[in-house]
Amino acid sequence: MGLPKRKTSQSKRNQRRAHDALPIVQTMTCANCGDPVLSHRICATCGFYRGRQVIAVAEEA
């Protein structure tokens, strides 16, 4: 079984881990209610998608 001859330097280790970060979630505002919504998803607050009512959402009293 092969073993490394030298300790991996901090620079090499960090360069390898540079791509491990999670991407930033891109949100947009709902055209109907203005709440932040993920792209290509139905708004959970008002139930609108692309300017149309897709699902009926119960109103909180």
Q: For residue 10, report the phi and psi dihedrals to the nearest 5 degrees.
A: -65, -35
Q: What does pLDDT average to in each consecutive run of 10 residues of the chain (61 residues)? A: 94 96 93 93 92 83 56
- Whole-structure pTM value: 0.57
Nearest to 37 by CA among 47, 16, 15, 20: 47
User: Tokens representing 53?
Assistant: 């009512």
The domains of the chain are located at 22-61
CB 22 within 8 A of CB 28: no
CB 54 within 8 A of CB 42: yes
pLDDT at 10: 97
